[in-house]
Structure 1
């Protein structure tokens, strides 16, 4: 019976092995398989922070920077931010992990008051740490903040205030998006005005250093749309809930209310223009189209002088402008004549009529293919009782827009002279 020679491959089902060799495990694999010990991480982090004198913000920033060289920030990202914001580790259900350990030497909840000037230094330090360890921004935004916010009902009033200020500063600094606020749109958090009070303080803090448009842009990018979900269920059906709340003397954030109105009007505008185009294509009746438009104007709380411009825009966008260039002018006049009955109900006064004339002026100025038809459009609308002679005369005297003003005044000169003469004759008849 022969033996297997040394160094040759074994036969059958025997697996090859390197006798006496030690296989070194990859560092990443070793870390991933290491035991998850958040309490150990916390204790090691405390050692770095405890030596820093209270109020030494540069010292805290340097210590957190140094700690990242040895502690596993990537693995314990959520726990790191829980310690730096809340001062302790969160257990399931939102309670603090009570193992007898003192709060973190550095944490937002440890700020001496819930005033902006006392909370801001903590966020400045956290921002420096994130700029140094950029991978930390993702867990902060996608998990930690959302996890912390869903338990605001468990925090004390002053702690909630500090957290609201901190969240506002983080969003303002770009450390998180406003989308984290959506975590508050839960019925148990909206109860007793808890969520809306928190969001209000976030807005108020944000607006100390930024404009409402900047805040609005962040809210839009973060997908925070249905603001009524921050309010208790019993209040959500109240008319003008959001505008009346932010304009109330107790809240006194009228710029937020005005932004909300503008945003709602834009949404209504986009929706209305799109639907108006569909109604035109479907050849819906004039009465059906007018009823729809009136409902939209009411929903958006818009005045006729603002809404009539929207109606014109929607009607013109519904036109198929693919005709030959020499037919465009005739097509435009045909459409104006056809749609005059739809425009008429939204010109109930001189302000609305002048607004429509200016809208048409800008339309013709922007699309040079219809530049020449401006006087003819006014004639059609005048003959169809959409706009009055007094509105046209006022526009010519002092109401015209600066865009192409001289051209349009020159082009409408015959019409203006005709209306003036007719007006003079009427005055003579009355005498």
Structure 2
């Protein structure tokens, strides 16, 4: 193709290109250096603390309603969820807690509304109520309070002055009573360094005392169960882990209701263990001596358990022995014979533990109630009583006393009538012995 003059000149190319705008970084995130990010993050908690303290400082001293209002205002601008731990540090102990349990000393003022710095229980309560209202408003604060803030404070409890530790425990008891937190936060106090010198046991008793000032013992027991605190033994030093020592501790600390509740709970647990032990030996068809030895070993391991009422021990042993019998395999017309055979076999197990008149009358009542509840055995009651009498588990005086004024209300008239002949025989025999 021949060249023509219409071909554009080089300068024409340059004129065709118009100036265009350069790309900008608008909307593009520029990554900072890792060192700069870490340095900034290191100072963020102190920045949050300083801003929080400015809000709190504007509230008049001692005015907890104003404190709550300032905290609500702070929640609009501050990242309370991100810095919940730091916020609770400020509101509970007055400043930021460092690893090791010391307050950060960087010249920042101490929060005058801090719970542990209040002059009395009244002010602590008002502070807790302000925190409670704040946490109800911002519900995301409850979880970090229970799962991080309180456990972190408790684990350094041994380093705190006794009065501040006492106020922290008082506040915690109120928080649990209000439903703000559960006792799950207390589990951290089973650590060895807190158990030492009775720190954990003292804190636990103080928390319970504050709770019981608001709620009942039954409600405390329920709260402990729901919070996963199922055993109080790990809060005590090894030398004070016996039931008696723990009961004395709670009584001395002004919470007798806890002492009574713990005694009952230990008694129930010990009774269940005894029943399981005796039943296991009986089902294995071990001899009388082996079963009696197992019961005595249990008594040694649980001193003071099932002492009151008088029939507590024989009641548990009777229940265990009867539950080991295979009643289901017997026909209705065989029940009486089976009952008498088994009771004859196991009466020597009961005899060593029926040494007093009270325990003997108690055993008769245990058998009475058992026969009343298991109607298949109601007709066999007089014969069962004869077996127990012949094998020295109960005396004639115990049977006569039971018949005259010691019987339980369950089926009372039926059992009294059914044993009239036996009682009459024993009374006549007693009269003959007196004449001789």
Equivalent position of 2:314 in the other structure: 308
1:370-394: CA deviation from partner (whole Å, max 9, x where unpaired) = 3332222212211221111211111
**Residue number among 303, 318, 324 corresponding to 1:318 in the alignment:** 324
Task: Tell me if 1:295 matches 2:297.
Answer: yes
**SS class of match (2:432):** helix
Q: Tell me, in whole angstroms, the C-alpha distance in 2 between the residues paired with 1:101 and 1:317.
A: 69
Q: How does the TM-score come out when normalised to structure 1?
A: 0.83
Residues 379-418 of structure 1: pairs in structure 2 closer than 5 A: 379-418=386-425
Equivalent position of 1:265 in the other structure: 267
Equivalent position of 2:208 in the other structure: 203
Equivalent position of 1:135 in the other structure: 140
**Residue number among 145, 149, 167 corresponding to 1:162 in the alignment:** 167
Q: Compute the displacement of 1:226 (Å).
A: 5.4
Q: How does the TM-score come out when normalised to structure 2?
A: 0.82
CA contact (8 A) 1:190 1:232 kept: yes
Equivalent position of 1:242 in the other structure: 246
Q: Tell me, in whole angstroms, the C-alpha distance in 2 between the residues paired with 1:300 and 1:199.
A: 25
1:377-430: CA deviation from partner (whole Å, max 9, x where unpaired) = 212211221111211111121111222222222232232223223223333x33
Q: Tell me, in whole angstroms, the C-alpha distance in 1 between the residues paired with 2:339 and 2:159.
A: 64
Q: Tell me, in whole angstroms, the C-alpha distance in 2 between the residues paired with 1:130 and 1:62.
A: 13
CA contact (8 A) 1:48 1:67 kept: yes
Structure 2 gap segments, 5+ residues each: 1-22, 30-37
CA contact (8 A) 1:325 1:369 kept: no
Equivalent position of 1:9 in the other structure: none
Equivalent position of 1:357 in the other structure: 364
Structure-2 change in CA distance of 1:392 and 1:179 (3 Å):
farther
Q: Compute the displacement of 1:136 (Å).
A: 2.3
Q: Tell me, in whole angstroms, the C-alpha distance in 1 between the residues paired with 2:46 and 2:175.
A: 26
CA contact (8 A) 1:268 1:300 kept: no
Q: Tell me, in whole angstroms, the C-alpha distance in 1 between the residues paired with 2:325 and 2:26.
A: 78
**Residue number among 71, 79, 85 corresponding to 1:78 in the alignment:** 85
**SS class of match (1:209):** coil
Deviates more, 1:328-337 or 1:220-229: 220-229
Equivalent position of 1:153 in the other structure: 158
Aligned residues: 399
1:73-113: CA deviation from partner (whole Å, max 9, x where unpaired) = 32222222222211111111111122211122432023123
1:30-76: CA deviation from partner (whole Å, max 9, x where unpaired) = xxx99572223223323332222223233323333343344333222
Equivalent position of 1:342 in the other structure: 349
Q: Compute the displacement of 1:22 (Å).
A: 8.2
Equivalent position of 1:282 in the other structure: 284
CA contact (8 A) 1:280 1:318 kept: yes
CA contact (8 A) 2:170 2:207 kept: yes
Q: Compute the displacement of 1:165 (Å).
A: 0.7
Equivalent position of 1:30 in the other structure: none
Q: Compute the displacement of 1:269 (Å).
A: 0.9
Q: Tell me, in whole angstroms, the C-alpha distance in 2 between the residues paired with 1:21 and 1:378.
A: 99
Structure 1 gap segments, 5+ residues each: 1-18, 26-32
1:266-287: CA deviation from partner (whole Å, max 9, x where unpaired) = 1111111112221112112211
CA contact (8 A) 2:361 2:398 kept: yes
CA contact (8 A) 2:240 2:246 kept: no
**SS class of match (1:372):** coil
1:170-194: CA deviation from partner (whole Å, max 9, x where unpaired) = 2222323334333222332233333
Structure-2 change in CA distance of 1:202 and 1:418 (3 Å):
same
Deviates more, 1:302-311 or 1:56-65: 56-65
Task: Tell me if 1:180 matches 2:182.
Answer: no
Deviates more, 1:82-91 or 1:177-186: 177-186
Q: Compute the displacement of 1:143 (Å).
A: 1.7
Q: Tell me, in whole angstroms, the C-alpha distance in 1 between the residues paired with 2:379 and 2:72.
A: 68
Equivalent position of 1:426 in the other structure: 433
Equivalent position of 1:256 in the other structure: 258
CA contact (8 A) 1:46 1:105 kept: no
Structure-2 change in CA distance of 1:21 and 1:93 (3 Å):
closer
CA contact (8 A) 1:168 1:206 kept: yes
Structure-2 change in CA distance of 1:371 and 1:118 (3 Å):
farther
